[in-house]
A and B are shown apart, each in its own frame.
Chain A
Amino acid sequence: MDLLFSALEMLARWDILIALVAGSLGGIIIGAIPGVGPAVAIAILLPATYAMEPLTGLTLLLGIYGSSMFGGALPAILLNTPGTAVNALTTYDGYPMTRRGEATRAISLAYGASFCGGVISVLALIALSPLLASIAPNFGAKEIFLAALLGMVLVVIVHRGQNMAAGALLCFGIFINTIGLEPIRYSKRFTFDQTWLASGIDVIVVVLGLFALSQAFVLLLGEDQDAAEPKIGRGVFQHLFEVLRFPKTVLSSSGFGVIFGIIPGVGEFLAQFFSYSLAQKTSKTPEEFGNGSPEGIIASEAANNAVPAAAMIPLLALGIPGEALTAMMLTVFYVHNVIPGPGLFEQRPEFILGLYLCLLALNVLALVFLILFSRQLTRVIIIPNRYLGMIILTLSFVGVYALRNSVTDCAIAAGFGVLGMVLKRLNLPIVPIILGMVLGGIMEVKLRIALANVQTPLDMINRPIAATIFGLIVLAVTLHLISVFRLRKALSNPV
């Protein structure tokens, strides 16, 4: 009880309250503007949060992360354009409902499902906490190394049809992280005798380049879309509870979101893909999917909103980010010398509880704001793309330059911006580069520590958790190879 009170006391601080409101409102607005997305906003705001308390900074960033998916449903339903990439499946059923004059109902369903997904995910996080607190201390260097390796394997595997490209980009990320001074013996690695490379390449510079600047370039070089300001009717609140008529879809989709959020390297996209497919298979009206099915909207929105809280589980318990956004948040922990991982649950339980409460409050705030201001929010959806590119370029400067006031950092970020733009144009994934950088660094350090107690390779998996993670890696690779083999066989022997 004392713990709860101290967490509530933390939540009542003015800086946390401002972060809660700014994060949830900012996230909704950013999510509602197609072409921005939470990664761009988080990358830009990241250096600014370094001056804040860790809980304040994380609340702001988590608010943007979670709320952007609420807001992203709006253009997905009204304009057939997802506000964020993870709202893509919402267009399948949301837009057909808008075309038949049910926009308000579709939006209410999306908000209701998003809220349920978000809250269920936080509750799952709270319920899992005692388990995490008991298991996390059993994670030593070997286990964390293997868990990071599992994340790397999964991030390659999930990019179906692009496994080789994802693998190469992941290795590129690992390579970038090794540039500069090696952490144990301080010998130079790939500095080419350049002083500006000796201190290495900061992950934030790469993140800003790959996410923010690349998006600015894509928008600036593209064309503006002519879209009239969409209109939605009154009564968002009235339809909100309709989501409760589909409890099976809400629970299964939220469950997928939680599970896929926990697994490193997987994330929202697969969560909503699987939940949508399951909802379609188990629905009494599967033919409605793609034509404006309420269950389709619920499956997509509940799943993607359940991911952010669940994605914090590997980050908090093991210090391993599962995807790019939590990788960015990891830097907030490091800057404040709060090391996420096994010790955090024992040493800072009030911090963990405070974070859970913030996540819960963010969902409530986002829902209330959307119920009240959805009609006004439709105005920001139609900002011209190229003008948006100019805004992102202006804001990106703060993100990069505020780090070290370095022109070199800005030039490196611009270089990664061009690379990110090329990857986006080719539909190649960016996330493996970031995960390669972050997980590569973690793996290098943990492997060195683990090697002190390792005589033979089998010693790496001589503990139950290590052996289980290794088993999961082998299972994931085997299942993937089987599916590739089957696909090839099917393609070579068409019916």
Chain B
Amino acid sequence: MPQEPEHQDAIGIIEPPHVRAELAFSVAAFLFAVFLWFNTGAELKTAKGASALNQPGFWSLLSIYGMLGFGVMNLGICIRRNLSTRQGAPMGPELLFWLRSAEFTGWFLAYVLIVPRLGYLPSTLLFSTALTLRLGYRSARFLWVSVGLSLAVVLFFRSFLQVKIPAGAAYELLPAGLRNLFLIYL
């Protein structure tokens, strides 16, 4: 007996599932556009004698009007869609998911702040192994992979490609020979 097709046709792929939290996003985006519009007087200068298209604030103003116009229509569509159906992923858990990203934003910014102090290699080792543990990968295999990965990343970007990452202040505490190596390559 032939199996049911996985998909009837290609059209299914361009119809994403409905998420009710789109309403919260649409409201926030519209309010942001309104906030910008209120500040146009204070934040944009007018050049005397220049035509409207040559004004320094023309493109800012155009984009804000665009955000307002498209934003209000998008908001209308979202409200109508959410009122017409009770289906779709609920709003509360989705908003909570968005908020949970704050934790990893914090991890990232902490990493950014410790690099100039500890140095790229020690910071990367610390960051990747600590985050590996936080994510629940406690086996020695994952921890060793994280250590290897940190080394590879530092060697590839700082030693090989010579990307601009400042040496850590902590490197000054190292003995002379080792210090030079760390300052230049790690």
Contacts and interface: CB of A to CB of B under 8 A. Distances in A.
A280 interface: yes
Interface string A162-173: 001101101110
B163 A393 contact: no
A192 B43 contact: yes
Interface in A90-113: 91-92, 95-96, 99
Nearest to A182: B56
Contacts of A69: none
A51 interface: yes
Interface stretch (A129-137, A212-220, A235-243, A317-325): A212-220
Given A171-B70, A401-B115, A414-B109, A221 B8 contact: no
B128 A394 contact: yes
B7 A167 contact: no
B59 A48 contact: no
B29 interface: yes
Interface in B52-80: 53-54, 56-57, 59-60, 62-67, 69-71, 73-74, 77
Interface string A393-408: 1111110011001010
Interface of B is mostly: helix
A51 to B, nearest CB: 6
Interface of A is mostly: helix
Given A386-B135, A405-B165, A421-B98, A394 B7 contact: no
B171 interface: no
A397 B108 contact: yes
A343 interface: no
B6 A174 contact: no
A80 B26 CA distance: 32
A387 interface: yes
A391 B149 contact: yes
A12 B150 CA distance: 32
A248 interface: no
Contact of A168 (B9, B74, B127, B150): B74
B2 interface: yes
Interface in A157-214: 160-161, 164-165, 167-168, 170-172, 174-175, 177-178, 182, 184-185, 187-192, 213
Contact of A398 (B100, B107, B165): B165
B153 A387 contact: no
A451 B53 contact: yes
Contact of A216 (B3, B22, B104): B104
B66 A387 contact: no
Contacts of B128: 390, 394
Nearest to A418: B101
A349 interface: no
B63 A175 contact: yes
B144 interface: no
Nearest to B142: A387
B21 interface: yes
Interface size grouping (class) on chain B: 35 or more
Interface stretch (A257-265, A422-430, A461-469): A422-430
A140 interface: no
Contacts of A398: 153, 157, 163, 165
Given A96-B6, A393-B108, A426-B22, A191 B43 contact: yes
Interface in A407-464: 407, 410-411, 414, 417-418, 421-422, 425-428, 436, 440, 443-444, 447-448, 451
Given A89-B13, A175-B36, A178-B63, A220 B111 contact: no
A410 B108 CA distance: 8
B169 interface: no
A91 B107 contact: no
Contacts of A51: 161-163
Contact of A164 (B70, B101, B107): B70
Contact of A160 (B14, B25, B131): B14
B184 to A, nearest CB: 16
Given A190-B39, A394-B150, A447-B53, A164 B108 contact: no
A390 B128 CA distance: 7
Nearest to B13: A88
A384 B153 contact: no
B97 A172 contact: no
B47 interface: yes
B1 interface: no
A448 B54 contact: yes
Contact of A165 (B74, B115, B137): B74
B19 interface: yes
B74 A92 contact: no
Contact of B56 (A185, A217, A393): A185
A47 interface: yes
Contacts of B164: 402, 405
Contacts of B175: none
A156 B167 CA distance: 45
A340 interface: no
Residue of B105, B113, B166 contacting most chain A CB atoms (<10 Å): B105
Interface in B11-37: 13-17, 19, 21-22, 25-26, 29, 33, 36
A233 to B, nearest CB: 21
A164 B77 contact: yes
B16 to A, nearest CB: 3
Contacts of B153: 394-395, 398
B142 A426 contact: no
15 contacts: A89-B13, A92-B10, A168-B67, A171-B63, A171-B66, A172-B63, A185-B45, A213-B108, A291-B5, A386-B136, A398-B157, A417-B101, A418-B101, A421-B101, A451-B53
